[in-house]
Amino acid sequence: MSDQSQNAGQEATPAAAPPAPAEAPEAPKPVDVGKIKAILEANDSARMRMWLSICSRCGLCAESCFFYLANNKDPKLSPAYKAINSIGKLYRAKGEVSREFLESLEDVIWGQCTTCKRCSMYCPFGIDIASMIAVARAVCYSQGIVPDGLARTTDNILRTGNQMEMPDEEWIETCNWMAEEYGEEIYGLEIPVDKQGADYMYTVNPREPMYYPQDVGMAAEIFHLAGLDWTVPSTGWDATNLAMFAGNKAVAAIPVKNMYDAAVKLGVGAIVITECGHAFRSAKFEGPYFLGIPGGKPPVPVIHSVELFRDIMRDGKIKLKHKFKHKVTYQDPCNVSRNGGLWDVGRELVNLLCEDFVDMSPNRELNHCCGGGGGYIPMGPPFKKRRMISGKVKADQIKATGADYVIVPCHNCFDQINDLNKEYELGVKVVSFKEIITELMVIPESMIPPEEDEEEALAQEEAMEEVSEEANKEASEVEGN
């Protein structure tokens, strides 16, 4: 029987549509070798050539690296191995590499290094592997290869001037809000905006006005109580610089220029950086080079909050009810201590505030990175698991102190140690210097807000004084005539 007769009397079944052709995979972007060569040539100094040729594979850098120590001493995690197989290969190939190779570097240069520079302290030749990794990051960034979290913050800086794309108007509103809130605790408290000629211009991490506005309020309390002449700028207030860790120097120059321009325009005596590590490194040390400033010095002196708080407490501008009584330890942020030189200043401040301080071991410039620096925290969930694994070195350091509190003058360290606290059940509380100072400071009677009746009476008294002054002024003018 033919097929035709078998189907007689039946409704014809439409033929199945042929499957849609599978979409062809997107072709990988071509590598722009010219850009890579330009970056490599710009960094092809005698020092870079020496670093690439002089390494003796002694292994001392390996024992200094927390990634290596926390991962069963995997030789592929030694700093020398990471440098040789990233920037070393880029130079050997003269920039003529495949996209596949560049993509493989993302894991190494961002996922296995926080550019903390501890390894350079142990290298007998002083090879600065962090700086070499930074060049490799610049190469990858030029080809669009960068962790998403860092790419987002870099785009935000490019579009808005700050890493969290917070409008300047909201920043000012937050300052006014905090001045009102904290003015209920300290009479006369203000957050002066764009005050010309102030001694200090205070700059912040955008996460403070966005998520932790009390940080701004606490700083205002300290500055007001200490009698400082200070201000905040309406623009150029973001001290952070995650583009520096993304590998884009052109974008990294933007927040630094905004900050310097604001300080010069206002004629302030110094720029004060909030309790943030990499912001200090960017503003004081890297920023002038991003902008090509001759001599490598910022146009206005830059100081970290740790320095200013130390001066305030040392000079007795704020009195304490008593010293902090809990057992504390101190986290040396890499960009405040090792790369900023403030390890002793931090300890001096801790001892001015606390009666029971125990140091981590090792400490000061040799302290381990917390594991959250170099852009690691903003790289987000894809990198969190390894951040926790490599952070075990810091967790063990903290646990060995037996401390109840960890003082941390850096936002990235703050987040990382809080995460480690949960991961390894350390049972500690993580605090900033601002929190301890504002908890224990004595508010002079003259700064205690009056009760409502008193406030009303005070307002009447001030109004009467204004009337009297005005009358005297008019009288003087009459007499002058």
pLDDT in tens, 375-415: 999 999 999 999 999 999 999 999 999 999 999 999 999 99
Residue 267 and residue 199 in contact, taking contact as beta carbons nearer than 8 Å: no
Residue 149 and residue 378 in contact, taking contact as beta carbons nearer than 8 Å: yes
Q: What is the dihedral of CA 247, 288, 239, 227, to 10 degrees?
A: 160
pLDDT at 451: 79
Tokens describing residue 205: 């991490």
Mean pLDDT of the chain: 92
Dist CA 200 CA 368 (whole Å) = 32
Asked if the model's pLDDT at residue 463 lies above 90, the reply is no
Which residues partner with 330 through β-bridges? 407
Q: Indicate whether this model's pTM tops 0.85.
A: yes
Dist CA 226 CA 212 (whole Å) = 22
* Side-chain half-sphere exposure of 273, counting CA atoms within 13 A: 30
Asked if the model's pLDDT at residue 10 lies above 50, the reply is no
Distances (CA, A) of 15 to 6, 10, 18, 19, 58: 17, 14, 9, 12, 72
Asked if the model's pLDDT at residue 283 lies above 70, the reply is yes
pLDDT at 20: 62
- Side chain identity at 405, as an amino acid letter? Y
Secondary structure of residue 407 in the 3-state scheme: strand
Asked if the model's pLDDT at residue 26 lies above 90, the reply is no
DSSP structural state of residue 162: S
